[in-house]
Amino acid sequence: MRSRFAAHLIEQDNPNPFPGIPALERRTGISIATRLGSNECLDAPMQALQDRFGMQFCELARLYGDPECHALRETLAVMNHVDLDALLVDGGADALIYLCLRAFCDPGDKVVCSAGTYPSFGYFARAVGCVIEEVAYHDDGHALQVDLQALLDAVVRTEAKVVYIANPDNPTGSWQGIGDIAEFVARLPETCTLVLDEAYIDFCEALQPAFGGTLPGCVRLRSLSKAYALAGLRVGYALAAPDILEQLHKVRIHYAVGGLAQYAAQVALDDPRTLATLTEASFIRDALTAHLSNLGFRVLPSGTNFVSLLLPSAQLAQSLVEYLLEQRISVHRPRHPALERLVRITLCAAALDEPFLSILQETSP
C-alpha cells in the first residue's frame, strides 16, 4: 500500500542510538555529576578558544549537545502554541527540507514545486533521486504568485509524494494566506505531504495571525537564520503532527545542532530586543520599494527581508548585476530560466545608501 513515507521507513524502526545525557537525566530524574560515557575530550585545555571566547563557550563546544534540543523546544512550543512532540529542531530550514525528502521519498518519486523557487529544494530532491515537476508562477500584474491550483493539478497528475511551497516565497517575495494554504493541503492526496517553508514568516505581517500551530499533512519549516540573525549557527525547526515527526526522527542526524547553537538560539529567542530587526527591515522594505518604484522599476511586493525587481529583460537584469559587481556590490539574480529577469536585493541599511541608490537611478528603465 502506498504511504506518505518512504517505503523502507514504514517497515523498520530506527531508534536514535544516542539520545544523550540530558535525555537520561530527564528520564531518571538523576543529575549526572561525572560524565564518563560519551567520549568527549573532557580534559582538553582549549586554551586558544578560552582566551578568545571564554569558558562557557568552551564547555558548550566540548560536549555533545542535547540531541532532543529539549530546552529549545520548550521555548518554541510556547511561542507556537503546540505540544513538545509537534516540534523537531535541526540544522536550519535547509537541513529540514532534506530531512523531509529523506523521510517521504524513495528514489524515482515525483516532487512538485514552483519553477524558480528556492533552489535548495530541487538540489536536495535530486540528491535523494526524486524527479522534479515544476509549475509556473502566476503573474497577476502586481506580484508573481505561487499557483496553488496548478501545483495541486501537478501533484495529482504525477502522484507526487511531496509538494514544496516557500511562504513567503524566495525569490519572488510573494505569499499566500494561511486559509488558502490550509484549503490546498486539505485537497492533497493522503500520500502527498506539503513541505511549507516559512523561513521568512517573521517578516510577513499578513501571516502573523497564523504563526503557530500545525496543519494536517503538512510540515511547517522555520529558520533562525533570518529574523534571529543566526545563519552561521544553523538552527531551524519543524512544526508537524507527531506521527509525521516520528518518521522524520528515523532519518535525522541526532547531533546536527550543537550545544552552542542551541544555547545561542535560546538566548536570541528569549530576548525581546532580537525582533527589532523586523521593524527595521519593514521600514527599509517600504522605503526601498517606494524609491525604486518612483525610478520606474517594477518592484514585487515582498513579505520577506528582501525585495525583488522584475526587469524588462534577462539581459538588463544581468547588466545591472554586472555593473553593481564592478562597484563591489553584490545582488542576487536567480539562475532558473523562468526567473532570469529578476534581481533580488537584501534589506539592510546599505540598501538605502549611496552609491547603491545612485547606480540604480542611472540604470532605471
Look at residues 238, 227, 296, 306 and name the one whose alpha carbon lies nearest to residue 268. 227
Nearest CB to ligand PLP, comparing residues 170 and 193: 170
State which residue, 168 or 217, has the beta carbon closest to ligand PLP: 168
First to last CA, the chain: 56
Minimum Å gap between C-beta 127 and ligand PLP is 15
Q: Which residues of 81-232 form beta strands (DSSP E)?
A: 87-90, 110-114, 131-135, 138-139, 144-145, 162-166, 193-197, 218-223
CB of 213 to ligand PLP, least distance (A): 20
Nearer to ligand PLP, 122 or 236 (CB): 236
Whole-angstrom Cα distance, residue 130 to residue 119? 14
Q: Would you say 130 or 199 has its CB closer to ligand PLP?
A: 199
Task: Determine how β-strand 236-239 pairs with β-strand 193-197.
Answer: unpaired
Nearer to ligand PLP, 295 or 348 (CB): 348
Please state the closest distance from residue 167 (CB atom) to ligand PLP, in A.
9
CB of 108 to ligand PLP, least distance (A): 25
Residue at shortest CB range from ligand PLP: 92
Helix spans in 120-191 (H): 120-127, 148-158, 178-186
Grid-cell match 538523576, residue found: 30
SS3 assignment, position 297: coil
Q: How far is the CB of 362 from ligand PLP (least distance, A)?
A: 29
Amino acid letter, residue 246:
E
172 and 308 Cβ atoms separated by less than 8 Å: yes
Smaller CB distance to ligand PLP: residue 92 or 217? 92
Here the cell at position 112 is 512538485
Taking the complex as a whole, the smallest distance from the CB of residue 170 to ligand PLP amounts, in Å, to 4
Shortest gap between Cβ of 91 and ligand PLP (angstroms)?
7
Pairing outcome for strands 144-145 and 193-197 = unpaired
Question: Nearest approach, Cβ of 304 to ligand PLP (angstroms)?
Answer: 8
Residue ranges that bind ligand PLP, judged by CB under 6 A:
92-94, 118, 166, 170, 197, 199, 223, 225, 231, 236
Residue 333 grid coordinates: 539574480
- Sign of the dihedral through C-alpha 246, 249, 250, 251: positive
Q: How far is the CB of 122 from ligand PLP (least distance, A)?
A: 12
- The three cell numbers of residue 72 are 529549545
Instruction: List the grid coordinates of 34.
Output: 561525572
Nearer CB in complex with ligand PLP: 20/171: 171
**Which C-beta is closer to ligand PLP: that of 145 or that of 191?**
145
Distances (CA, A) of 322 to 284, 333, 334, 347: 24, 10, 14, 20
> Of 175 and 184, which has the nearer Cβ to ligand PLP?
175
* Residue 25: Cβ-neighbour burial (10 angstroms; 0-12, 13-18, 19+): middle
